[in-house]
Amino acid sequence: MIDRSLHLARRPWFFGPLALILVVVGTTGWNRADRTDLVAYFASTDGIYAGDEVRILGVPVGKIDDIETEDGQVRVEFHVNGDVKVPADAKAVIVAPSLVSSRYLQLTPRYDGGAEMAEGATIPLDRTAVPVEWDQIKGQVNDLAVALGPHGANEDGALSDLVDASAHALRGQGGTINQTIADLASAIEVLNAGGDDAFSTVRNLQVFVSALAHSDVQIAEFIQRLDTVSQLLADDKHLVRAALRDLGTAVGDVEGFVREHRGALSETMRGLTDILGVVARQQGDLAQILHVAPNAMANMAEAYHQRQNAIGVNAVGANIHSPGQLLCGALGGAAATDEAGTERLCNRLIGNLLNQVANDPQSQQLLSALLVLLAGAR
């Protein structure tokens, strides 16, 4: 035991490197646990390097770890502090505050609840953006200058003529232009105040356009028919012109007639109004007449005897042998009562008198002879 301790004591260099390795590994593991590593893909990363800041709302929250190309795009590995939450649908933008200052990686929007981006998550190319480079702006301006220069649109002096004409047209119109701009600003303010109504109008217009799109067959057919009508009118334009000329003459005649007989027409219209009022009040009776008249006219036609040139009517007396029942029915109808009321009315007024008369043989013979005379029988 003593010998082994002495042996280890003679090799102190063994414990120094081991302790250093343990410290480095522990520190690295602690740092990894206190941050979130993420990846973003960009079209280009000019002016940004490993070690540059990662920000949210302009506040530094992390660093860029590594930048390398991958399949025609640039892979940027970065991390944010462990206490910083990033939305799962966050976007990454390279921001250039000015032409000479250093750039940084901006994450947007800030976390406001919901799903958050996990360790090792990737922001694809369609959710990243890079600033427009000064060389690109300079190139576009140069292309525009060349296109408008003496070897482009102004080769024949067209641009110079445009500038001269514009200067001549705008000379002395400063007040008018100022008022136009002010009116335009007022109109924009009105549109801004009625933004909801404007959007409602656009939505309704979208519904209308969608309905037209769904009815394209009917619209095409309508346009075709309208084209046919237009072609017919074009072919007969002389007749149409003559008809319109005659119509204009007729309208003039009617206008003169109305002006000349205005009083009589007013009186006629008042009388017509009274007649229409009577017709409206007697609507039920007129309906009954129209209902009964066809049968009555048909019966009249059937009753006419062409050979004798006369109308023959057959009188039918179904209750002629029971005059009491006939008379009681007439009394009940006049009194507008039911069967029980009719019976009570009959008993109170005439009793059984008429039935006794009708049951007499001589009375029956007399009534039969009367019926024959009324019917015109022989």
Same domain? 119 vs 185: no
- The answer to whether position 145 is within a domain reads no
pLDDT tens track for 159-181? 788 888 888 888 888 888 899 99
Same domain? 129 vs 38: yes
Give yes or no for a cis peptide into 361 (omega within 30° of 0). Answer: no
- The answer to whether position 82 is within a domain reads yes
Question: Would the pLDDT of 356 be above 90?
Answer: no
pLDDT value, residue 342: 75
Same domain? 125 vs 184: no
Give the predicted TM-score (pTM) of the model.
0.38
pLDDT bucket at 378, cuts 50 / 70 / 90: very low
**Which of 112, 136, 160 finishes a domain?**
136
**Which of 180, 210, 240 finishes a domain?**
210
Residues 6+ apart with CB under 8 A from 102: 47, 52
- The answer to whether position 218 is within a domain reads no
pLDDT value, residue 151: 76
pLDDT bucket at 37, cuts 50 / 70 / 90: very high
Report whether 92 contacts 127 (CB < 8 A).
yes
Question: Would the pLDDT of 270 be above 70?
Answer: yes
- The answer to whether position 100 is within a domain reads yes
- The answer to whether position 131 is within a domain reads yes
Least confident of 21-35, 64-78, 142-156, 301-315: 21-35
Residues 6+ apart with CB under 8 A from 105: 40, 48, 52, 53, 54, 55, 64, 76, 78, 92, 93, 94, 95
pLDDT tens track for 251-262? 988 888 888 888
∠26-31-37 over CA atoms, to 5°?
135
How large is the average pLDDT for residues 346-371?
66
Same domain? 128 vs 82: yes
Same domain? 113 vs 193: no
For strands 128-129 and 91-95, give the pairing: parallel
pLDDT tens track for 227-236? 898 888 888 8
Same domain? 175 vs 113: no
Same domain? 128 vs 206: no
Same domain? 192 vs 129: no
- The answer to whether position 257 is within a domain reads no
Q: Which two tokens stand for residue 34?
A: 């206190």
- The answer to whether position 217 is within a domain reads no
Same domain? 132 vs 176: no
Mean of the per-residue pLDDT values for the chain?
Answer: 80
pLDDT tens track for 111-125? 999 999 999 999 999
For the chain, what is the domain count?
3
Same domain? 38 vs 124: yes
Q: Which two tokens stand for residue 362?
A: 């001589």
**Which of 136, 157, 182 finishes a domain?**
136
pLDDT value, residue 322: 61
pLDDT bucket at 18, cuts 50 / 70 / 90: low
% of the chain at pLDDT higher than 70: 76
The residue with greater pLDDT, 304 or 40, is 40
- The answer to whether position 65 is within a domain reads yes
How large is the average pLDDT for residues 1-30?
50
H helix intervals, 154-261 = 158-170, 174-193, 195-214, 216-235, 237-260
Query: In which domain, by residue range, is 346 found?
Result: 323-375
Report whether 189 contacts 198 (CB < 8 A).
no
Same domain? 114 vs 200: no
Least confident of 11-25, 130-144, 240-254, 259-273: 11-25
Question: Would the pLDDT of 360 be above 70?
Answer: no
The residue with greater pLDDT, 339 or 9, is 339
Same domain? 45 vs 119: yes
